[in-house]
């Protein structure tokens, strides 16, 4: 069983922020922003490439609820999913990173700006 499934099953502690029948939101163990929440479907799906549109429909509403609950719905946030090896996905259970609580860095320059090795 993967570590996020263990958090769903309450086998390991997850510091839960929000929960519904099908989705779970909990704080990232190593936050990269003042607010850094991981949002997952309770049912195991490996990655974004494997998820169905029906799950994503529910996920959209759930993510919006989480953003409102932690008070970043108006100030803004970044939503990220790393998919597969090149995407840098380390935990193979679909998750969205919800980052906010401060102005986030983003390189808007058009010169020599690349995000690949
Ligand atoms: P990925 O690199 O797969 O997109 O993101 C995995 C995230 O899970 C990382 O940001 C990492 O800090 C977080 N993480 C890894 N293990 C645990 C854990 O046991 N509990 C929590 N809450 N977060 C974890
Ligand atoms: Zn899992």
Q: How far apart are CA 92 and CA 45, in angstroms?
A: 8
Active site annotation includes 108: no
State residue 113's pLDDT score.
Answer: 66
Measured in Å, residue 7 CA sits from the centre of ligand 1 at 11
Ligand 1 touching residue 96 (CB < 6 A): no
Q: How far apart are CA 69 and CA 72, in angstroms?
A: 8
pLDDT in tens, the chain (117 residues): 999 999 999 999 999 999 999 999 999 999 999 999 999 999 999 999 999 999 999 999 999 999 999 999 999 999 999 999 999 999 999 999 999 999 999 988 887 767 778
Nearest CA to ligand 1 atom 17: 29
Taking the mean position of all CA atoms in its chain, how far away is CA 30? 13
Helix (H) or strand (E) holding 69: helix 53-69
pTM for the model: 0.96
Contact 52, 18 (CB under 8 A): no
Nearest atom, ligand 1, residue 14 CA? 22
CATH fold for the domain made of 3-51+77-100: HIT family, subunit A (3.30.428)
Ligand 1 touching residue 85 (CB < 6 A): no
State residue 108's pLDDT score.
Answer: 84
State residue 62's pLDDT score.
Answer: 98
Domain ranges of the chain: 3-51+77-100
């Amino acid at each position: 069983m993967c570590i996020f499934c263990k958090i769903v099953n309450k086998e390991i502690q997850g510091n839960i922020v929000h929960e519904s029948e099908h989705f779970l939101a909990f704080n990232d163990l190593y936050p990269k922003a003042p607010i850094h929440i991981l949002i997952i479907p309770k049912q195991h799906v490996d990655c974004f490439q494997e998820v169905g549109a029906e799950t994503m429909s529910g996920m959209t509403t759930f993510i919006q609820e989480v953003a409102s609950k932690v008070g970043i719905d108006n100030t803004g946030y970044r939503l990220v999913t790393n998919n597969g090896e090149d995407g840098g996905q380390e935990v193979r259970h679909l998750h969205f990173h919800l980052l906010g609580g401060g102005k986030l860095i983003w390189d808007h320059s058009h010169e020599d700006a690349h995000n690949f090795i």
